[in-house]
Amino acid sequence: MSASGDDGAEQKPSVEVSKDANGLDVVILKDPRGFSAQVHLYGGQVTSWKNDRGEELLFVSSKAVFKPPKAIRGGIPICFPQFSNLGSIEQHGFARNKLWSIDPNPLPLPTNIDDKAFIDLILKVGDEDMAKMWSYSFEFRLRVTLGPHGELGMTARVRNIDSKPFTFTTAFHTYFSVSDISEVRIEGLETLDYLDNLQNRERFTEQGDALTFETEVDKIYLNTPTKIAIIDHELKRTFVLKKDGLPDAVVWNPWERKAKAMVDFGDDEYKYMICVEPAAIEKPITLKPGEEWKGRQKISTVYSSYHSGQLDPIKVLESLGSFG
Ligand SMILES: O=P(O)(O)OC[C@H]1O[C@@H](O)[C@H](O)[C@@H](O)[C@@H]1O
């Protein structure tokens, strides 16, 4: 499918390599209907995702630092090969503060990619710093796609090209932009077990109700369903997150006190974001030499047919179709 311009000419999705205001390399994906996404090579990080009205859907802090080696606060950082401080590597691993490259040998494309703008990035073991923390040879390939309905897809493939096995944990640390955290509800995680990062990762079971937010939250939900809905009542907008190969889901909002303690995060900005992070944490992934792991997330928006306030997340989740 492709759109037609005013002159009737067919317009196609486009991909452009450019620089951001700070001189960092970015790849801009555009769909002729007006959807767009931006990916920084620094961190292999999606830093913008806009709908066809040009509205930003991801949260990026106004205080984010776009200067290596600090990771960019917002968008979709990639935690790899370690989530959080669950090991001896730096917090959330090194992938988010390394320079990725455009993949010169991307994997073959699925046949239905014609209507998508996409870019393939790669991170390989490289500099000494990385090797000091994790001395394995690997290839991390990331494909970012922008589909014809503005849906943002991310596929991660990690290949062991070493002679010994290695183990990692990982997450797509997705910062969603919301109107006001008090207007947000998450469906799909109720009744699940979680590890509470604020209580020594002790295991608890979530109540039967959808999640709402009144205080700091930092939880790792376990064995989560493949679809999660993040409902913004104020904007009548639902983010639908679909995932594959990533059984866990972290939900994080630093709330007021921690927000103030973060130098790259505005004091009030906790009100305008929620992180929902598809992840593989509880059961780390081990790859033998030559093996590959794949994990995907696809996020899309539903502008509610729920204007009456009768949000029905089950219908939202059912309306999603397949990964594509
Ligand atoms: O400040 P960082 O390293 O980007 O981490 C932000 C947060 O990321 C979340 O994924 C973690 O669960 C939190 O514990 C952490 O505070």
Q: Read off the pLDDT of residues 156-168 as tens digits, 9 standing for 90 and up.
A: 999 999 999 999 9
123 bridge partner residues: 140
* φ, ψ for residue 294, nearest 5 deg: -130, 135
- 12 pLDDT higher than 80: yes
Residue numbers belonging to the annotated binding site for substrate: 73, 91, 96
Burial string for 274-304 (b: 16+ CB within 10 Å, else e) reads bbbbbbbbbebbebeeeeebebbbbbbbbeb
Q: Is 233 labeled as catalytic in the residue annotation?
A: no
Q: Which domains does the chain have, with CATH numbers?
A: 3-318 (2.70.98.10)
40 bridge partner residues: 26, 45
Tens digit of pLDDT for each residue in 184-234? 999 999 999 999 999 999 999 999 889 999 999 999 999 999 999 999 999
Predicted local distance difference test score (pLDDT) of residue 310: 46
**Rounded Cα gap, residues 309 and 234, in angstroms:** 10
CA–centroid distance, 224 to ligand 1, in Å, is: 19
Mapping DSSP to helix (H, G, I), strand (E, B) and coil, where does residue 220 land?
strand
Q: Is 277 labeled as catalytic in the residue annotation?
A: yes
Burial zone of 10 (CB within 10 Å; 0-12 exposed, 13-18 middle, 19+ buried) = exposed
Predicted local distance difference test score (pLDDT) of residue 317: 54
Tens digit of pLDDT for each residue in 254-310? 999 999 999 999 999 999 999 999 999 999 999 999 999 999 999 999 997 544 444
Q: Which atom of ligand 1 is nearest to the CA of 79?
A: 10
User: Hey, which of 169, 218, 246 would you mutate to test ligand 1's pocket, going by the most ligand atoms within 8 Å of its Cβ?
Assistant: 218
CA–centroid distance, 84 to ligand 1, in Å, is: 6
CA–centroid distance, 291 to ligand 1, in Å, is: 29
**Rounded Cα gap, residues 40 and 44, in angstroms:** 6
Q: What is the rounded average pLDDT of the residues 107-111?
A: 76
The one-letter amino acid at 9: A
Distances, alpha carbon 273 to alpha carbons 32, 171, 176, 308, 314, in Å? 28, 17, 6, 24, 23
User: Hey, which of 173, 217, 252, 264 would you mutate to test ligand 1's pocket, going by the most ligand atoms within 8 Å of its Cβ?
Assistant: 252
Tens digit of pLDDT for each residue in 50-95? 999 999 999 999 999 999 999 999 999 999 999 999 999 999 999 9
Is ipTM strictly over 0.90?
yes
Predicted local distance difference test score (pLDDT) of residue 286: 98
Q: Which residues does a 6 A CB cutoff place in the pocket of ligand 1?
A: 84, 91-92, 173, 197, 218, 250, 252, 277
- 182 pLDDT higher than 90: yes
Mean of the per-residue pLDDT values of the chain: 91
Q: Which atom of ligand 1 is nearest to the CA of 277?
A: 10
**Rounded Cα gap, residues 291 and 127, in angstroms:** 23
